[in-house]
Amino acid sequence: GAGVSQTPSNKVTEKGKYVELRCDPISGHTALYWYRQSLGQGPEFLIYFQGTGAADDSGLPNDRFFAVRPEGSVSTLKIQRTERGDSAVYLCASSPSRDTQYFGPGTRLTVL
Amino acid sequence: DQQVKQNSPSLSVQEGRISILNCDYTNSMFDYFLWYKKYPAEGPTFLISISSIKDKNEDGRFTVFLNKSAKHLSLHIVPSQPGDSAVYFCAASALSRDDKIIFGKGTRLHILP
């Protein structure tokens, strides 16, 4: 069956610009997670949705980062006024339960 | 402060031998542990997990051992195969509290022919 998909696969932007990253979870998975993976690091938790609501957004680094999941399926991670330090692979995962998470391939964001 | 530590950035093992990947954690609230495997340009793939009520879980060539008193877990792969070459992430969660998974930095495993 279809796994988690993320678009775009690569995004290059200039410092100060706004970007949106999209995640399509596995159908029927109620939980959705965003992570950020910098070079040489493991995935770092950003935000977790249960249905439409953000159950835990404690990992968002600052108020330039925001995520939505308006209909409880597709989610969009939004980054305002991008900085070079935002460059990373942004991973999305979905889960049918409270344990195993299934990851998408990620979006590689490069801020010039 | 790293709550999940993988102190070996890389490991090389001969094909057919046992690969042992180690992981330490600091948070005593963690009650669920996972190993993920990651190939280049792909997202992490779930490999095996263990609950804190167990000390061993086996799935085919993969076995995870948990030593709660030492706050240590390990992943054993036997026999190692070329397709096992990847980055392995140890991860932990406090399911009794929330659903966040905390990842280590990963260990790159090279299986040598």
pLDDT in tens, B73-107: 999 999 999 999 999 999 999 877 777 889 999 99
DSSP state at residue B95: T
State how far the alpha carbon of B109 is from the alpha carbons of A28, A55, B18, B51, B60, in Å: 34, 35, 12, 24, 18
pLDDT in tens, chain A (112 residues): 589 999 999 999 999 999 999 999 999 898 999 999 998 899 999 999 988 888 889 999 999 999 999 998 999 999 999 999 999 999 999 998 767 889 999 999 999 9
d(CA A70, CA A66): 13
Task: Report the distance separating Cα B45 and Cα A41, nearest Å.
Answer: 16
Q: Express each pLDDT in B13-41 by its tens digit.
A: 999 999 999 999 999 999 999 999 999 98
Q: Are A35 and A43 in contact (CB under 8 A)?
A: yes
Residues B63 and A47: their CA atoms lie apart, in Å, by 30
Q: CB within 8 A of B97, min separation 6: which ones?
A: B29
CB distance from A25 to chain B under 8 Å? no
Q: Which of B100, B102, B105, B108 would you mutate first to test chain A, the one with the most A CBs within 10 A?
A: B100
Residue of A nearest to B34 (CA): A100
